[in-house]
Amino acid sequence: MTGRTVSALVSDASYAQARMYFLDELASRAGAFTVARALDLTGDVDPAALDAAVRGCVRRHESLRTCFRVLDGQLRQIVTDDGPTLRVVDLRALLGRGTPADEEALVAGLARQEAAEPFDLRRVPLLRTTLIRLTDQRSVLLVTLHHIVADAWSLALLLRELSELYRAHAAGVPHNLPELPLQYADFAAWQQRAEATGSHDRHLAHWRERVRDLPELALPTDRPRPEQLSYRGQELSVPLDDHLADRLNELCRREGASLFMALLAGFYVALHRYSGQTDLAVGGTTSGRARPETQNVIGSFVNMVVLRTPVREDHTSRDVLRATAETCHDAYEHQDLPFERLVAAHGGDRRANRNPLFQIVFQMIVEPDDDLSVPGLRIRMREAPTTVTSFDLVCTVASTAGRLSATLDYATELWDRDTVAALGHAWQRALRELAERPDHAVRDLALAEERAYTADALTDELRRTAALADLPAEAALTVRDPYGHPAPQGAVGELLRRDGPDAPARPTGIAVRSDGRGRLMAAPSRDDEPPTPAPSSAAHSEPVGPMERELAALWEELLGRTGIGRHDNFFRCGGHSLLATVLITHVQERYDADVTLEAFFRLPTPAGLAEVIAAAPDTAMTDGTEADELAALVAALEGQEDHA
């Protein structure tokens, strides 16, 4: 990499990029924020034409040759001339020798490994393309990007452009792609101008009111929440048949709602029955591409919104649909506010094991349904199951050529697969009730079948309770929710005992829930995590020692306030995610210490950060080649004008 000219253009990052950079730092590059697809290629593939197609996409879209640095207290996106090349993994000889290898498992393993490999956001490229040759006529193309440079919409654009450019290179003819009217950095500059001119103020005031006193949606979990999430996850498919979608569409036409709103309404009903809460908030996504010039630009445009809806026991399913529609229309009207601005304005404590404002996301995406195949090469999307999740639970409904499919991505640290499957089943039943009996009350909906448990299913804690001490071996146990219906697996209900086949079911007064392994356990009112401590009312304490005084002065500079004490919480003083990233960058440079955001989240005070710095190892320097190149890059950036 030495001996080449460093060329770069620097500009402000967008709000979405700033948040993604922060989350990536917090996750310590766990590979949680990659967007990946795998394509089956059948036919005589031309690797040289495919490599040229990749290079052509990178030339067209600046975001695909962008990296990020914190410079002068701001996150900057750096557009370079660097781009990825196609990596080829040729397995033809291995598979041709008759080696006893499971081809499907081999490809799936390579795809998982590629998707899980973290990116370094400070270095280009943030796109990887790998061609796996299986036979002369069969290959698999892996496409992996970091979410900071692309969203799901962008990935569909990329695949279409790769197909068109491959066709053109293979045939030796010009491509038919339109010229791009702008680049992603232009969008980021427009976003910054909107903020500077106060265009976001009205939306911010609205959203601050919408999230006032927002309760946390607390679903019962199979295991206590860890202090630091690992982002390990799995994906579960939830069938959605065409007949159900048709019935829901009919209802939506009468109610002036969309199919998305109906699907979300059913999800709210399931969440209400699992949590017992009546004020429900989940995260939603919007494309962020309201400006027509952005439709064909690859970049991280997606924006998040808070979808907060009331669901009461006396509501009918139709009532929930109408309330959901009102929530969504309100969110769409104010979707231009970058979610990161709301998080910063909302304030409050930040914890490394939670996302701000919501832990559950519900979204609908439209997958590309146009044929990506080209003459001589058939292209088909391959299923690529996820192994990471950035939220507790993400429900994704995909629409492909008018057909619906749904998945639940869940944190494996919190739930067993069977528990999540039961939630998916409850959602299906809520949707059927909405489609077939929309005027039935929510409290009358049975979201699960009756399930009998034996005494062997009880935990030792339950066996010792007085209500179960005399339980006969032939007793049958059931769990009922507060409305008298069978409680879905994982939901909290009251334990009932029946001591014989003809004996009546007697309530025990014990609140229990069943986990994914079929056990019954006593149900706490919330998870086992201790409550968030209230803000300290202790008297102001001056920083002690040179390091604490330097840190307090840095906080005052970043937060624009004076009088920072050694025990003042960064986030309660007005700090937010980007400022935390800037702070840690300054600390790493000033003290040459490997301090992480996760460690700072545990001790977000000058005294606590001083302890973290003292305990941190020295920052490991990279080899001289990279250091020289970085110095040249920074020198080049200093001579550039902002890209507007």
The model's pLDDT over 22-71, given as tens digits with 9 standing for 90+, comes to 888 887 766 788 888 899 999 999 999 999 999 999 999 999 999 999 88
Q: What is the pLDDT of residue 208?
A: 96
d(CA 116, CA 109): 11
d(CA 518, CA 450): 14
Q: What is the pLDDT of residue 354?
A: 87
Q: 29 or 345: whose pLDDT is higher?
A: 345
> Is residue 349 scored above 60 in pLDDT?
yes
Conformation bin of residue 204: beta by default, left when phi > 0, alpha when psi is -120 to 50: alpha
> Is residue 527 scored above 80 in pLDDT?
no
> Is residue 627 scored above 60 in pLDDT?
no
Q: What is the pLDDT of residue 7?
A: 53
For residues 462 and 512, is the Cβ–Cβ distance under 8 A? yes
> Is residue 218 scored above 60 in pLDDT?
yes
d(CA 85, CA 50): 10
Mean pLDDT across 514-529: 74
Average pLDDT, the chain: 87
Question: Which residue shows structure tokens 């058939």?
Answer: 378
d(CA 248, CA 259): 7
For residues 282 and 361, is the Cβ–Cβ distance under 8 A? yes
> Is residue 210 scored above 90 in pLDDT?
yes
pLDDT band for 304, please (50, 70, 90 cuts): very high
Say which residues have a Cβ less than 8 Å from residue 559's Cβ, sequence separation at least 6: 570, 573, 574, 575, 579
The model's pLDDT over 323-332, given as tens digits with 9 standing for 90+, comes to 999 999 999 9
d(CA 226, CA 354): 10
> Is residue 630 scored above 60 in pLDDT?
no
> Is residue 85 scored above 80 in pLDDT?
yes
Strands across the sheet containing 303-310: 233-238, 403-411, 393-400, 360-366, 279-286, 303-310
d(CA 404, CA 406): 7
> Is residue 370 scored above 70 in pLDDT?
no
Mean pLDDT across 602-607: 87
Mean pLDDT across 198-225: 93
Q: Minimum mean pLDDT among 48-52, 77-81, 397-401, 452-456: which range?
A: 397-401
> Is residue 377 scored above 90 in pLDDT?
yes
> Is residue 321 scored above 70 in pLDDT?
yes
pLDDT band for 351, please (50, 70, 90 cuts): confident
d(CA 584, CA 612): 11
Closest CA to 281 of 324, 228, 232: 324
Q: Which residues of 8-45 are buried (b: 16+ CB within 10 A; e: fewer)?
A: bbbbbbbbbbbbbbbbbbbbeebbbbbbbbbbebebeb
The bridge status of strand 127-133 relative to strand 87-90 is parallel
| DSSP letter for each residue of 398-442 | EEETTEEEEEEEEETTT--HHHHHHHHHHHHHHHHHHHH-TTSBG
Mean pLDDT across 486-511: 91
- Tell me the CA end-to-end span of the chain in Å, nearest whole number: 29
> Is residue 232 scored above 50 in pLDDT?
yes
Name the range with the highest mean pLDDT among 26-35, 298-307, 400-409.
298-307
> Is residue 635 scored above 80 in pLDDT?
no
Q: Minimum mean pLDDT among 294-298, 477-481, 500-504: which range?
A: 500-504
Mean pLDDT across 448-461: 90
Q: What is the pLDDT of residue 368?
A: 66
The model's pLDDT over 170-195, given as tens digits with 9 standing for 90+, comes to 999 999 999 999 999 999 999 989 88
Three-state DSSP class for residue 396: strand
pLDDT band for 92, please (50, 70, 90 cuts): confident
Three-state DSSP class for residue 520: strand
Q: What is the pLDDT of residue 631?
A: 42
